[in-house]
Structure 1
Amino acid sequence: MEECKPRPISIHNFNDKICDRIVHFHVMSLQDCFFLWVGFSPSLSNLAVAMCSRFNSVPLSTSILGDKADPTSSSFAQRLAKKTKKQVFVSIGIPTNDSQLLLLIEKRIKQEMDSFPEKF
């Protein structure tokens, strides 16, 4: 019987200029899950997790760290969990009052996922 080897941790960093701001992205891929941080400067002020459930078509999510009234990280985590079918940890360090910026950031993440699926 062949032994199942754990997947090594993979780190993937990228950045892009979006709405005249440099946005930084950090992905840490683990066995069957990944952590995504997005922000302007290195700070972990919030963290959410989401995962698919066989009992509901919408992934379950919860806020682990930060303002529970701000659903941004939880919403991102839910959408990414649904897309990847993995457990996803997300921290969004971007002001949530700019919905256009958040949409462009999500579009950029999806482009990166399509280009480098093994990093997620």
Structure 2
Amino acid sequence: MSIVLSHPSPLPAETESEIPAPRLGHRLLRPGAGRGGPAGARARAAGGRRDSMEGPPAPGSGAISLHNFSVRLWEQLIHFHVMRLTDSLFLWVGATPNLRNLAVAMCNRYDSIPVSTSLLGDTSDTTSNCLAQRLARKTKKQVFVSYNLQNTDSNFTLLIENRIKEEMEAFPEKF
């Protein structure tokens, strides 16, 4: 089973964005509403946005962080998409925009090896499971991994993992 993503072009290299997580009880404001008083005046004077948010979310406030990067390995352009959530991480690795498999791993207090399972795709392909386990151990988070490359050679997979570790060291706030 293969799920094809709706965007046919490859992911752009080196893009980042912050998307605020929805807050419970948050109400949408009518255009122009909710900007009265001192807080609204300060926001307008500072060139603030015209929506209901007063500024960028503080680190650790529940924002979803997106980070994309690419690398050329063995004559193939590989794209990485990282989505950091509050207590978990989603990593997509692939050359073409599809979602053929998905695995999840998380640490537990009973074993030093994180527990993992395949959620989507061929269960005989353990590449996503293994990568999710190693990342869960390193980040101490619940990790979802979708490894969508035909090449599952151990040397190639090691290069992929090393590139992810380099990116984690360069941008720890994105993981």
- TM superposition score normalised by structure 2: 0.64
State the AA in 2 paired with 1:116. Answer: F
**Does residue 70 of structure 2 align to residue 15 of structure 1?**
yes
**Does residue 129 of structure 2 align to residue 111 of structure 1?**
no
Q: 2:149 maps to which residue?
A: 94
Gap change, CA 1:9 and 1:100, over 3 Å in 2: same
Q: Is the 8 A contact 1:9 1:29 kept in 2?
A: yes
**Structure 1 unaligned spans of 5+:** none
**Structure 2 unaligned spans of 5+:** 1-59
Q: 2:108 maps to which residue?
A: 53
After TM superposition, give the deviation of residue 33 of structure 1 in Å: 0.7
Q: Is the 8 A contact 1:72 1:96 kept in 2?
A: no
- TM superposition score normalised by structure 1: 0.93
After TM superposition, give the deviation of residue 26 of structure 1 in Å: 0.1
* Greater RCO, CA 8 A, separation 6+: 1
**Does residue 103 of structure 2 align to residue 41 of structure 1?**
no
Gap change, CA 1:97 and 1:35, over 3 Å in 2: closer
After TM superposition, give the deviation of residue 117 of structure 1 in Å: 0.8
State the AA in 2 paired with 1:12. Answer: H
Name the CA distance, whole Å, in 1 between partners of 2:95 and 2:156.
Answer: 12
Name the CA distance, whole Å, in 2 between partners of 1:94 and 1:83.
Answer: 23
Name the CA distance, whole Å, in 2 between partners of 1:100 and 1:41.
Answer: 21
Aligned residues: 116
Question: What value does the CA root-mean-square deviation take over the aligned residues?
Answer: 1.1
Runs of 4+ in 1 over 6 A off after TM superposition: none
After TM superposition, give the deviation of residue 97 of structure 1 in Å: 3.8
The structure number with the bigger radius of gyration is 2
Q: Deviations over 1:55-99 (max 9, x none)?
A: 000000000000011111000000000011000000000124422
Q: 1:73 maps to which residue?
A: 128
